[in-house]
Amino acid sequence: MTARQVLGRGLGALIPERPSSEPEKKKNLQTCGIEEIRPNPFQPRKKFDDAQIEELAESVRQKGILQPLIVRRQGDAFELIAGERRWRAAQRAGIKEVPIVIRDADEPEALELSLIENIQRENLNAIEEGEAYRSLIEQFQLTQEEISQKVGKDRTTVTNTLRLLKLPQEIKESLINGLITMGHARAFLGLEAPEKQRQALRKVLAEGLSVRQTENLIKRLRAKEKTAPSPKNPDWRHPLAEELQRILGTKVNILSRGKRGKIEIEFYSLDELDRLINILRK
C-alpha cells in the first residue's frame, strides 16, 4: 500500500490497532532511545503550549506513552512524521526510550503524511491548519475537495480556513494567541482594506466585542465604504488609492495638480514587479 493510499484513513491506516500475529506486531512496533529522534522540519504546529506539554508529560510519567510515534529513518537517526507533542512530553518526563512505528517514506511522502496526520489528530490553531492546507495545495497540487476527503472535513471548512491566511499578520497573531476566535477572524474578511481590518481588530479587542457584535461592526464599516466621496470631493484621491491598493495588493499614491496627475505604484522586489505587471496586463 502506498503512502497516498493510506492518507485520509486516519491513524489506523498508519498503525495497525490489532496485529494479526505477534511477529507482525514486532515488525510494526519498536522502541528506540529518545535521543535518536529529531523533530520534523515540516511540522505544521508552530506554537506548543507549555502548560499542555507539562500536563501531557505528567500523564506520560504515570501511564507511559500509549500511542507510538511515527518516524522515518534519516541516516543513523529517526525523523518524526507525527507525534511531536508526545516526544516533547516524554523528554520533559525524563523518558529514555519511546515506542515508534517506522514508515518507509521519502521526503515528499513524509511531508504529506505529517501534514495530514497532524491536521487529523492534533489540535492545530486555525492559522497553522490553513498553512498546512496551503502546503498540500502548493507542494502536492491537491484540490480543496481532495484535502477535505483526506482530512475528513467539509470542503467549506477547508475554504474558510484558507481564507484566514489573507488577513493581516496582526489579526492572525491575535487568533493564534487566543485573543479572538475564528468567528471574529472570519468577520474581518468582510472588509477589503487591511488597514480597515486592523482598525476593526483594535476596536474588538478594546471593547471585548462578541462575534455577533463584530459582524455588526463590519456591516457598519462596509456601509461607510460604499458612501466614499466622489472625485469632486477634495478628498477624492484617498478612497480611489485605497481601491487600487485592494486590487493590486500594494501601496498606491495618487498625485494631482489641476486636471493632471500621476499614479505611483510601489513594489519591493522583482517578483513583486512581475506580479503587478501580470495584474495590469489582465
Residues annotated as catalytic (active site), given as ranges: 84
Alpha-carbon span 141 to 217, nearest angstrom: 37
The distance between the two most distant Cα atoms of the chain, rounded to a whole number of Å, is: 87
In the chain, the amino acid numbered 65 is I
Angle of CA points 179, 183, 185, to nearest 5°: 65
Sheet bearing 77-82, strands edge to edge = 30-33, 97-102, 69-74, 77-82, 37-38
Q: Which residue reads 500511542 in cell numbers?
A: 67
**R_g over Cα of the chain:** 25
Alpha-carbon span 245 to 193, nearest angstrom: 8
CB atoms under 10 Å from CB of 60, counted, come to 20
Do 128 and 45 form a contact (C-beta atoms < 8 A)? yes
Distance between first and last Cα of the chain: 45
| DSSP count for the chain of H helices, then E strands | 15, 7
Task: Dig out the grid coordinates for 161 from the structure.
Answer: 480556513
Helix (H) or strand (E) holding 53: helix 50-63
Alpha-carbon span 79 to 91, nearest angstrom: 15
